Amino acid sequence: WNPQEGLEQPTQKNHYLLFLRTVRENSMLLLGLGLCLFIGAQLFSELGLKAAICAKHSLGSYKLIHRLISLLGLIFIVWGRSNAPFITLWQPRFELQFISQIVMIPSIILVVSAYLPGSAIRQELVHPLLFATLIWSLAHLWANADLASVMLFGSFLLWSLIKLYCLFRAQINLPELNSSTVHFGWDVLAITLGFLLYGFIALYHGQLFGIGLSFAY
């Protein structure tokens, strides 16, 4: 007589299903942990951790730790957000969704300009990626009113505000505008590529992020 006879034996599939169920049940906790890790890593300099790690070890060690924590946080954010329950906090007005779609245009242009060294947009704003994150967060908070979205975009909004405040207050990386390296053509390129990238993201938003965009109001 086998006491295990008739009982379901654990299999690799069962372990996988158990793992998925655990992730779903703790998705909000996972999302919160991921946000703390990722955003916390981006604030190492402001928290004094960068200087401490570099002094005790080396710049290479700091970069490795920073990248590992950021990657782990990003993985937790994606897993948590993908499995988070939809808990509505308020009901956004559908007919006003176009506002967030319009606001995203300058955000993407700022992202493109950040990688064009001759762009006046980049040199004037100094930190265009942070301004892009700020606009991106506001646009998505306007369009999404569930708890997971508010946690995600609200956290990035708060981080971008803190980072910008600290950078400008400390006058970090604020070189004088060198007009000889700036050319209007770079800004035309930034705007053109920004619109093209916006069109691509808008068209394939559903495939890329799981939520399709509607432009019919």
Reported as a single tens digit per residue, the pLDDT across 83-111 is 899 999 988 887 788 899 999 999 999 99
- Judged by DSSP in three states, 35 sits in helix
Identify the pLDDT of residue 25: 73
Other residues' Cβ atoms within 10 Å of the Cβ of residue 18: 11
**Mean pLDDT confidence for 105-121:** 93
Which residues, including other chains, have CB under 8 Å from residue 161's CB and lie 6 or more apart? 134
Q: Are 119 and 113 within 8 A, CB to CB?
A: yes
How is 130-158 classified by DSSP, letter by letter? HHHHHHHHHHHHHH--BHHHHHHHHHHHH
Identify the pLDDT of residue 149: 94
Distances in Å between the Cα of 165 and the Cα atoms of 132, 159, 161, 170, 171 are: 15, 10, 6, 8, 10
Which residues, including other chains, have CB under 8 Å from residue 64's CB and lie 6 or more apart? none
Indicate the DSSP class of residue 210: S
pLDDT at 143 over 80: yes
Q: Is 216 exposed, middle or buried (0-12, 13-18, 19+ CB in 10 A)?
A: exposed
Distances in Å between the Cα of 195 and the Cα atoms of 50, 104, 134 are: 37, 10, 19
Q: Which two tokens stand for residue 170?
A: 């400390």
pLDDT band with cut points at 50, 70 and 90 for residue 179: low
Nearest Cα residue to 31 out of 102, 69, 79, 67: 79
Count CA atoms within 13 Å of residue 76 on its CB side: 19
pTM over 0.75: yes
Identify the pLDDT of residue 96: 82
- What does the pLDDT look like over 66-83, one tens digit per residue? 999 999 999 999 999 988
Q: Rounded to an integer, what distance in angstroms lies between the CA atom of residue 100 and that of residue 86?
A: 20
- What does the pLDDT look like over 6-65, one tens digit per residue? 545 556 677 667 766 776 678 899 999 999 999 999 999 888 888 899 999 888 999 999
Q: Rounded to an integer, what distance in angstroms lies between the CA atom of residue 49 and that of residue 133?
A: 23
First to last CA, the chain: 69
